[in-house]
Structure formats: structure tokens, C-alpha cells
Homo-oligomer: A and B are copies of this chain.
């Protein structure tokens, strides 16, 4: 019933009494093929329900037109929006995008890379899992001469293209904002400093404190996985200090949310007693009350730029991977969790 055997270019050739190569050339609009033949082929394609076989053409051409994307998780405003833009841009150029998730796991990330290479992708656009410290699997990609573009979470030592915001400056801007709100003791819930971006956020935070003559106090600085529970736990510890902070800057929105929950449970006024800022502009930060101030990482722009960087690399035949950082400006979004002035006005 359903045509068990799939129609191939040969079937079309047979039907039209021409050779497979003529069909192939007609399909790719070769100038030497007559319009008559092209029309006939187009018709036969419809009639016979022909579906080109990507496997065969990719094998022959040595180019799969597939691009692999690795994200730590798709379930995030930032990553899903980056991915969407990558796909939007690349599909315009005839590429298909394979999205894989590492779920923040190192071994999953390795497996993803392995299967993407096996699938013969023409390039890989990736953001590292939190767990990842060893970079051998990324080196493998490079060693095969396949373009590798990192975004958001990448390491300089990889020496490849990178697209992201300036974490140092973003962090600095947050502290500056909190200082302007009159905060004097600013705590930091950071990510693990083995990751470049979190390290930079910590340094930006510290440098800003120094720049604004605020105390750098190690008991106000924590490293964590930045999950809700981490935010809760650390906030509790901060509240137990003899001198608690008057502001908390978390390097991730979920940690900020955990902190907010603890603050509310302890009836501490936000932002007036303790102001709060997160990082990443997750959807929920604008949905809850009070809204959480945060950093917009410009996911759309990052996605588009990552895609365009890949296109540049793949089209440059004699290109060698080297460190090339594209830094886009981030944006501080001030919401109620750190907007003291608004609340002062009202009272």
C-alpha cells in the first residue's frame, strides 16, 4: 500500500527516460539542464512523492548542513531564547539545528558531543555544563577541524569563538546600583568560581565594592549551585550573622528567589531592610511580587551572533580556531526588590 520502497532519484530517471545524474542536476537547477527537463522532473517529484535523501547527499558532498547546539537545559528563558534565535538564523541558510541538553552534567555533555560528531554536524554551538572543568571533549571538536562556537559559559583557554555579555561589568553595575540605593553591606551569592563567568561576577562584585569604598567581607560571600535551596540556605546563614547585610546580590535568579522566600518568611522588608538583585532575567522574576531586579543577558542577540559567527567560520575555508570574544552589553533591570526610592516616595 504505502510505497514500501522509497522513491529515489533513479525512479524519477526511469520514469522520464533520462539518467539519474540529469535528475540530480535538474533538482539543483544546473544551468546546462534544459527547462523542459527541469519542469518534467519537478512534476515527477510530486507525482512520485519523492523525498530527497539527506544521508546520501551529505555523504557525497561531505557536508551535512546540520549544526549541533548544546545547552545545559532548555527549560530556561535564556537558553531557549538563544536556541530559538540560532535556529531562526541558521535555517535561513539551509542548516538544520540539532538541540541537545547536557542537564548540567559533564558526562552527558561528553555523550552529546560524541553523538553530534558521529552525526557529522558541520559545526557545534555550545554552552558549558556547570559540572564541566575538563575540556578534552571540546578539544576533540577542534581537532577535527569543526567550527566550535561557545556562548555564555565558555573558557578562554579553549581558544575558540565566544559570544556573551561582560559578566564583570554586569556585576559591577549591580553593585553600583545597590550603592546608589544607599546599601552599605552587600552580600554575594555566587556560582562556583571555577567557571569563568561566575568568577568574573565575583571579581566584578569585589572590585565594585573597593571602587565605592564599601567593605569586602568574606563572610558575605558564598559559592553555590545557585538553586532555590542554595539561596534559601545562604540567606538564612546571612541573617544569623551578627551584622547581616543590607543587600544581597545573587549571581542567579533562582538563588535570588530562594533568598526572597526566606526574607519574606522572616518578615524582613524588601527592598528597604534588605535589597535583592538576581541575574539572568528568568521569566518568573517579573511575575512574582516583589519583582526581582536582575540582569538581562540579551539572549536574542547572543543567539543571532553565535549563529552568524558559525556561518563566518564555516564559509572561510582556511580558517584556524582562535580565541575571539564577542561581548554584548547587558542590561540592568531594576524591579521592586531593589528599588528603595520608589518605596520611600510612597511612605
Q: Which residue numbers of A lie inside 8 Å of B, CB to CB?
A: 2, 4, 6, 49, 51-56, 58-59, 64, 66, 73-77, 80-81, 83-84, 87, 91, 96-101, 103, 111, 115, 117-120, 142-145, 257, 264, 283-284, 287-289
In contact, A81 and B75 (Cβ under 8 angstroms):
yes
A99 touches B96 (CB 8 A): no
Cβ A80 vs Cβ B87 within 8 A: no
Taking A75-B76, A75-B80, A75-B283 as known contacts, 20 extra A-B pairs with beta carbons closer than 8 A to each other, sorted by chain A number, are A54-B119, A54-B120, A55-B58, A55-B64, A55-B119, A55-B120, A74-B75, A74-B83, A91-B115, A96-B115, A97-B100, A98-B98, A99-B99, A99-B100, A257-B287, A283-B284, A284-B284, A287-B288, A288-B288, A288-B289
Q: How many copies does the complex hold?
A: 2
Q: Return the contact of A143 from the options B2, B56, B144, B287 (Cβ within 8 A).
A: B2
> Top 6 closest A-B pairs, CB basis?
A75-B80, A74-B74, A99-B99, A55-B59, A284-B284, A74-B80
CA distance A86 to B80 in the complex (A): 18
CA distance A345 to B111 in the complex (A): 53
On chain B, the residues within 8 Å of A76 by CB distance are 75
Closest to A61 in B: B55
Nearest-CB residue, chain B, relative to A76 = B75
Q: Which chain B positions have C-beta within 8 A of A257?
A: 287
> A53 near B120 (CB under 8 angstroms)?
yes
Complex Cα gap A96–B114 (Å) = 11
B103 touches A74 (CB 8 A): no
Q: Which of A52, A54, A103, A115 has most chain B Cβ within 10 Å?
A: A54
Among residues of B, the one whose C-beta sits closest to the C-beta of A261 is B287
